Structure 1
Amino acid sequence: MVVTIPRCLLACAAALGIAAGAAAADLREGFAAAGALSPRLQALAAERSVLLARRERSEALTPGAPFVLAGYRSDRLPGDRGLREYEGEVGLPLWLPGETRALRAAAVAQLAALDAAVARERLLLAGEVRAGWWAWQDAVAARRAAQGRVAQARALERDLGRQVAGGLAPEADRLAVAAALREAETALRIAERAVRQEAVAFRALTGRLPSDGPAEAEAAPPGEGADPRIAAARAAEAAGRAAEGLVRLRDRANPEVVLQFRHERDARGEPWGSRLAVLFTIPLGHPPLQRERLAAAQAVTTAGTAAALASARAVAGGIALARENRDAAGAVLHAAGQRQAALAEQAALYEAGWRAGELPLIEVIRVRTALAEAEAARLRARVALGRAGSALNHAFGVEPR
């Protein structure tokens, strides 16, 4: 069922610079729309190109670009005896032993960690969308109860107006009913404002106005390590270990091979000579710098390990708490339904007693007020049960679907 958007909601959206003709969305559609707008997901998607380029670099022939050096030397100043020298060099950096394999493993691990981070970020976003959509549903339930209360009060006011006009009821009763109607209308205006506020908040997150839709079906518990939060922490730990292995191999700068060509003469009239040389640059390690880099990499791995353990504990505790909340919400809904049914029966008896002249009108108003509050509690308890089921799915690490 699709909820019709009130005119006051559209006016509020227009006041905020939001187009009033936007399509509405239920929980699943709102989550999809929020995912397309999320700057955090867009930032993670942009990181993928960096990691793909790093993986491609591990397949290159050299770790860096070749370089060319050209030189010319003469003795024109201060004297010119004819010395001339032309020199050119072409150099290539070389991979360290095992560096390409370690770089590729680190890039692959970082890509896996990125995918896991995207899944975790989507789950966090799902929690925000769920909270916003259920807050709107709760406000809608309160408004529906307030509308029912106003309808009943207006019906009683019309009925009593006819009785007062016919001399069958005192004016004091009409004034009491009018006061009760004004109170109900005030409550309705407050409830309508709450609905508008929650709709605008949902729109800010998703770009869509909220609409009614089916509640989430309870999902099956995830398998071992399938929760996005645990998977992301473990993937980050694995990426840290891969980066640590790369740091161990990169204990020095990359060596270089240089091909050098020189064409020269010592003086005017002497023959030109040419030389070709092959040079190797073999950097030496610097233990203090290597220890610093390795300690930094190990700190990242240690943090990932601790985060993986903490995520596992948090997920297990969250599932247990969500199950308790769902069971409690079911019990509250059952009790609220029984209370509403009892008050409805009591209200019917009181109204019959008032019409028979056995009870004063104030008792009817009192029991109707209690009935309206019970109906509001029942409607909101039903929403709370749906919210608890949605929270259990979130604890399982399942997106709205």
Structure 2
Amino acid sequence: MKRKRWGSLGILAAALLTAAISGHAQTGPAQTGRDQSSSPAPLRQGFETAWARQPEQRAAGLRRDAAAAGLRAAERWTPETAALDLSTRSDRWHRNDGAREYEAALSVPLWSPGERAKSQAAAQSQAQAVDALLGAAQWRLADEVREAYWTRQRARIEHEIAQQKLASAQGIARDVQRRVTAGDLARADAHQADSAVAVAQSAVAEAAVAEAQSAQAWAMLTGQDLREGPQEPLPAPMPLTAHPALRELQARVDLARRQQDLAGVQTRANPELSLGTTRERDARGERSAQSINVGLRIPLGRLSASDARLANASADLLEAQSQLDLETQRIDARIALARTRVELLTQARDSAQRRAALAGESRGFFDKAFRLGESDLPTRLRIDLEAFEAERQAARSRLEVGAAISQLRQALGLLPE
């Protein structure tokens, strides 16, 4: 029997990558792409478990308690606690005529004009800043969780594709070996098929390492394994003022402004009101006289640290306002880019799906033609390779659309669902 040889190594490699396409038409990369879409339940659950492990979440209760304590302090009638002064006077160390004097006084600090209202406003801003700080921390963590999620998904689909390539290579190698045994192909063709199997096995090993690394990163971040789920919903337009990062910066601006106002009235020490009583006698045997004392202490001049405190508060306000303006522009541009990316990737996904459908139909036509002897083997292998690449691209396109929607939700400041 006359031996038939394949004309090129490229055709054989194409065959090794495309065998078993028909058997995987419903369970291959196209189905894998549907399985790899983003899932609200796993993503949301992963975020919640990751947030429970964060230092910000653990300290949130104490920060709220501190803010509430500051607000209670600003609502008191005095800026500081009252002080009790006790004193006595006697002549027993020099004349010992029996002169005695006892004095007790209560000193109460008073708020400076406008200080109490401005302290309350600053304390209220501080309490609001705590919630804004936690919201921004959640948003930043959501970015890490989403990145780990999609890295894990990409690694898994690449591993599955590599496994399918290996199965194809092994199937072609078995077919080539049978034809070599039958005398239709040369031994060199079998060696080339075995070499392609080894290459596919190496690719599977590399993909498995990448998948294991992504799985470990996800587990370290969330403390759980990743499971499948549907895609995150496409978000509706929302105002920038609701963005967690901007709310945090706006809270910083408000707090800096309130602290600047407070520093503007805290230029002098607080006045003090004193109320006391004095009991005294001039000599032994005389009756003791008692009197009531009322006093008011008014500091004069400015505090030495008031100018520095006011300057620091003004600098904090300017810095916070500048950061808010820059971050608003950056987030606005990020949202616009994310929306454009979703639109373009959606178009690419639709095109890839149409290409995969057409390639599948063409593969069926050429398979039938090959069986009838109306098409040669190189053409059949080329059509199979094109169909496999089209299905793989369609699967990846579906995955990238899900990732782009997730990035758009992140840009809008939305937490995982």
- Provide TM-score, normalisation by structure 1: 0.82
Equivalent residue number for residue 105 of structure 2? 89
- The answer to whether structure 1 residue 231 and structure 2 residue 247 are counterparts is yes
State the Cα deviation string for residues 193-233 of structure 1 (Å, max 9, x = none): 11111111112222222222211111011125222222332
2 CA distance for matches of 1:253 and 1:281? 10
State the Cα deviation string for residues 99-138 of structure 1 (Å, max 9, x = none): 2222222222222233223222221111111111011111
State the Cα deviation string for residues 308-356 of structure 1 (Å, max 9, x = none): 2222211210111112222332344455556666776787859986997
1 CA distance for matches of 2:153 and 2:264? 55
2 CA distance for matches of 1:124 and 1:355? 61
1 CA distance for matches of 2:343 and 2:195? 40
- Where 2:208 maps in the other structure, the secondary structure is helix
Which of 321, 331, 337 in structure 1 is aligned with 2:337?
A: 321
State the Cα deviation string for residues 27-54 of structure 1 (Å, max 9, x = none): 1111121222221344454322111111
Q: CA deviation at 1:183?
A: 1.1
- The answer to whether structure 1 residue 263 and structure 2 residue 279 are counterparts is yes
- Where 1:96 maps in the other structure, the secondary structure is coil
Cα distance change, pair 39–355 in 1 and its aligned pair in 2 (3 A) = farther
2 CA distance for matches of 1:388 and 1:87? 78
- Where 2:273 maps in the other structure, the secondary structure is strand
Which of 385, 403, 414 in structure 2 is aligned with 1:387?
A: 403
Tell me which moved more, 259-268 or 296-305.
259-268
Which of 210, 214, 219 in structure 2 is aligned with 1:203?
A: 219
Equivalent residue number for residue 270 of structure 2? 254
Cα distance change, pair 145–371 in 1 and its aligned pair in 2 (3 A) = farther
State the Cα deviation string for residues 40-82 of structure 1 (Å, max 9, x = none): 3444543221111111122222222111122334344466443
Which of 260, 267, 272 in structure 1 is aligned with 2:288?
A: 272
- Where 1:264 maps in the other structure, the secondary structure is strand
Tell me which moved more, 309-318 or 326-335.
326-335
State the Cα deviation string for residues 265-322 of structure 1 (Å, max 9, x = none): 3444444333331121112341664332222222222222222222221121011111
2 CA distance for matches of 1:330 and 1:298? 48
- Where 1:253 maps in the other structure, the secondary structure is coil
2 CA distance for matches of 1:201 and 1:219? 27
Instruction: Considering Cα pairs closer than 8 Å and 6+ residues apart, tell me whether 1 or 2 has the greater RCO.
Output: 2
CA contact 1:180–1:365 (8 Å) conserved in 2: no
User: What is the number of equivalent residue pairs in this alignment?
Assistant: 376
The one-letter code sitting in structure 1 at the alignment partner of 2:231 is A
State the Cα deviation string for residues 118-168 of structure 1 (Å, max 9, x = none): 222221111111111011111111011111111212222233333334444
Q: CA deviation at 1:169?
A: 3.5
- Where 1:26 maps in the other structure, the secondary structure is helix
Cα distance change, pair 325–120 in 1 and its aligned pair in 2 (3 A) = same
CA contact 1:177–1:365 (8 Å) conserved in 2: no
- The answer to whether structure 1 residue 304 and structure 2 residue 320 are counterparts is yes
Percent of aligned pairs with the same amino acid:
32
1 CA distance for matches of 2:274 and 2:303? 26
Tell me which moved more, 352-361 or 37-46.
352-361
Equivalent residue number for residue 37 of structure 2? none
Which of 192, 197, 220 in structure 1 is aligned with 2:208?
A: 192
Equivalent residue number for residue 142 of structure 1? 158
2 CA distance for matches of 1:252 and 1:265? 39
- Where 1:225 maps in the other structure, the secondary structure is helix
CA contact 2:356–2:390 (8 Å) conserved in 1: yes
